[in-house]
Amino acid sequence: MPSEPRDRARRALASAVRTGRIPLDAQETAAQEVLERLSLAERHLAEAAHLVATHHPILASPYDRAYDACVVAATALVTACGFTARGDAGHERALLGAQLVLRELGHPSESRLLDELKSRVRPVRHASVYTALDAVTPSALRRVLDIAGVLVPLLAREAAALAGSEDREPTDWSSLFPTRVEP
């Protein structure tokens, strides 16, 4: 992708921050920090897939990992644009910023997936972490895995490109978290 759409996305996020629409803090960031976050997001997604493949008895565990993968990847995208989400509602702020950047980069349907992550997935994750371990249903788990399967690779690709590492290969976690399990 030429740099023009990415420059436009950076400017759009900077404008949203400047006008207070998205409360983020400016932060000088090294590409290595972005790449480390992306590796972490990919690890979370691999862990979620592994927990499902091994029939983990608590559905909240892979659900939370898939959600975390999306949030970490969204944070990496915002970080690659020179911003950070600190304090209360940090997840919400990172997701808002990533949503705007994805729209500007020409990914409107994936941007809507971030909206679904905020409005439908996050409340279930919150309940599963703080109040009800059984808040996650099998269909909710399938949906968050579908969302994460689309968002994490896309967010990683765009964040790496914004950080100047367009040729980055995804981290392969399969040796630690195999998704095929022998019966």
What are 150-168's pLDDT values in tens digits?
999 999 999 999 998 888 8
* Lowest pLDDT segment from 4-8, 22-26, 151-155, 170-174: 170-174
Q: Which domains are present in the chain?
A: 3-162 (1.20.120)
- Token pair listed for 84: 């950070």
Percentage above 70 pLDDT, the chain: 93
What are 113-149's pLDDT values in tens digits?
999 999 999 999 988 888 887 889 999 999 999 999 9
Place of tokens 């979620």: 48
What is the pLDDT confidence band of residue 182, given thresholds at 50, 70 and 90? very low
Distance CA 144, CA 150 (A): 10
What are 20-60's pLDDT values in tens digits?
999 898 888 789 999 999 999 999 999 999 999 899 998 99
Is the Cα dihedral 12, 104, 35, 59 positive or negative?
Answer: positive
Instruction: Give 12-81 as a DSSP string.
Output: HHHHHHHTTSS--EE----HHHHHHHHHHHHHHHHHHHHHHHTT-S-THHHHHHHHHHHHHHHHHHHHHT
Instruction: Answer whether 0.85 is exceeded by the pTM.
Output: yes
